[in-house]
Structure 1
Amino acid sequence: MMDTIKQSVEQLFDNDWWSNTGISLLKILLIIVIGRLLVWIAHKSINKVVLEQLNVRHALQQRRITTIGKLLNNIVSYSTYFIVALLVLSELGISLGPLLAGAGIVGIAIGFGAQSLVKDVITGFFIVLEDQFAVGDTISTGKFKGRVEVIGLRTTRIVNEQGEMHIIPNNLITEITNFSLLPAHITIDMPIAYQGNLREIMHTVRQCAQSIKHEKLLSSIEVLGLQQFDKDEIVMRVTAQSEAAYKDEVTRYMNEQFKLTLEQHGLQMNEEIKEAKG
């Protein structure tokens, strides 16, 4: 014990020890700075390529390009910092051979003992890479349907209309229906009491359709015309397209505007306006 303390005290006054230690610290600092610089340059290059691609790609492809750009940035960062860590350990005098061999054995053990985790990560990677869905999309997978809150490499979180959050392991996501990639189609049937003037009714409905504006509408409202009729009522059908996530909101707004307009023109509704089922 005393010999160890004596040796440590002697090292404090050993110029060669201080010189070697200073050089090692400078090397470690230089390795870290160079690593950070390489990461910065790589990120700048990747972001520049991503921005260039965003300017020339279709809107549906922009989200995928952005996601891939972030993924590449993460891969570059993790790879570079891993190499930096190995170089620093080597500079500290730690032998990397046994360390890498031990890491390999641990990796094999984890591979056998955590196959489900590996499947989750691989599936999550391909979800991001293939842009199957993104945060904010409304999707259905298995018995779950809702808005995507978080996409991780291991789990995906979905919030349904009741506010319940479902945390789903990625390897269980085998079939996906994405309701947000394409515009939602809205079809509304309006049963109107028939009073013997079809032209007036059609004119009123068309006027209302032209006047309805909503920021989430992606197309003008089209009046398809007479869908059904009998001696007491006629059914007028209108269609439109909206952003998928706002389909219900836009449908309610259209219902309200049509009902108010028809009432202003003295046209009575036989029942509440309802979204057509077919």
Structure 2
Amino acid sequence: MDEPVEEPVTEVANTMWQEFLNFLQTYQVPISVVIIIVVAVVLRFVLIKSVQKVVTQIVTGAKKSQNVDDTQAIIGSPLLAARLVQRTRTLGSVSNNLITITISAVALVMILGQFGVNLTAVLASAGIVAAGLAFGAQNIVKDVLNGIFMVFEDQLGVGDEVEIGEVSGRVEAVGIRITQVRDVHGTLWFIRNGEIARVGNRSHDWSRAILDLAVAGDADIELAKEVIQSTAETVVRQPRIAARVLEQPAVWGLEYVNGDQVIIRLVVKTRSGSQWEISRVLREALKLNLDQAGITLSSTAPVAVSFSGVDGPPPTPRKPNDYRQGPPKSGRRRNTQ
């Protein structure tokens, strides 16, 4: 009684299996295309999620990455944190685009292969078209490549004080093709990355507050240097200033001497972007303490002081739209009182 039942069951199973194989053979191409698309989508999703996870870890770890020991130092150095976030997110965006383009191109080639397309001819035609597009849009290609290198090399970042050609100001955005810089007048400049040949970055890693004080020529120079040094040391001990100072202030000595005045230079190494605020605080305290010590600041016209010795070579001329300093004489640094 059992044998007649087993034979039909076996036949049905064999028939279903054969029909399934026939189905796969008949619809092999569409099934392969669907599998390629699904695998490509899943692979892109996994890779992009991995990139996003890395970006998130770097951004949330900004405190450790910036070599800052406390929260106050992070607050005192917002430009560094902003630059890290900007650069990391830009790199993440570039990586996501590269992943999408690469996976899409490979999947497209595999799909065309399933339809029996001559891939050699397609790739040759695509190469010719790409060469034509690259020649016609070479400026765009140059902009994109230069932008990618600038981001990877960390030449500049959001919040940096930079000088790019005729434009000097604060970087507001760094894109793959365009960099946006706002100058002291509030003008937002859109600069093509391909046109950027040289970048002067005043906010990279660390900065230096430099104050040149013009003291009357008949003043007690040693007393003036002592007052300047002690005042600067007192100022940098203030809680809101201390977190932004990397080294103790130093009086470098006389930068210029004539019959009417002498220029005494004070320098303080600071976190990037903090030099201007620290300079303003120092000027207030120095003016008050020098007056109390009976030391008269020179009332003659400011004297242009060249960089020399440890200062390095003379700087390039500043442009009229300089973000912080204004238009001092070409190749010189103004006297700061």
TM-score (norm 2): 0.56
Instruction: Give the alignment partner of residue 51 of structure 2, picking from 37, 43, 46.
Output: 43
Letter in 1 for 2:265: R
Instruction: Give the alignment partner of residue 144 of structure 2, picking from 99, 108, 121.
Output: 121
Instruction: Give the alignment partner of residue 34 of structure 1, picking from 42, 62, 68.
Output: 42
Deviation at 1:259, TM superposition (A): 0.9
Identity of aligned residues (%): 25
Q: Say whether the 8 Å CA contact 1:188–1:273 is kept in structure 2.
A: no
RCO greater where, 1 or 2, for CA within 8 Å and sep 6 or more?
Answer: 2
Other-structure match for 1:185: 208
Mark the CA change 1:237 to 1:56 in structure 2 (over 3 Å): closer, same or farther.
closer
In structure 2, distance between residues paired with 1:146 and 1:152 = 17
Instruction: Give the alignment partner of residue 245 of structure 2, picking from 217, 222, 236.
Output: 217
In structure 2, distance between residues paired with 1:257 and 1:272 = 21
Could you list the per-position Cα deviations for residues 159-214 of structure 1 after superposition, in whole angstroms to 9, with x for gaps in the alignment? 22222122222222122222222533333233446888666544433321210122
Other-structure match for 2:169: 146
2:135 is aligned with 1:112:
yes
Residue ranges of structure 2 left out of the alignment (5+ in a row) = 1-22, 68-79, 307-337
Other-structure match for 1:12: none
Other-structure match for 2:4: none
Other-structure match for 2:315: none
Instruction: Give the alignment partner of residue 165 of structure 1, picking from 157, 180, 188.
Output: 188
Q: Say whether the 8 Å CA contact 2:37–2:107 is kept in structure 1.
A: no
Deviation at 1:258, TM superposition (A): 0.7
In structure 2, distance between residues paired with 1:38 and 1:74 = 14
In structure 2, distance between residues paired with 1:168 and 1:65 = 18
Deviation at 1:43, TM superposition (A): 2.8
Could you list the per-position Cα deviations for residues 201-258 of structure 1 after superposition, in whole angstroms to 9, with x for gaps in the alignment? 4443332121012243332211345666789876543221234434333222211111
Letter in 1 for 2:144: V
Q: Say whether the 8 Å CA contact 1:221–1:239 is kept in structure 2.
A: yes
Other-structure match for 1:5: none
Other-structure match for 1:3: none
Instruction: Give the alignment partner of residue 155 of structure 2, picking from 132, 135, 152.
Output: 132
In structure 2, distance between residues paired with 1:166 and 1:123 = 18
Residue ranges of structure 1 left out of the alignment (5+ in a row) = 1-15
Other-structure match for 2:273: 245
Deviation at 1:135, TM superposition (A): 2.7
**RMSD (Å), alpha carbons:** 4.7
Letter in 2 for 1:35: L
Instruction: Give the alignment partner of residue 156 of structure 1, picking from 170, 179, 182.
Output: 179
Letter in 1 for 2:43: G
Letter in 2 for 1:39: L
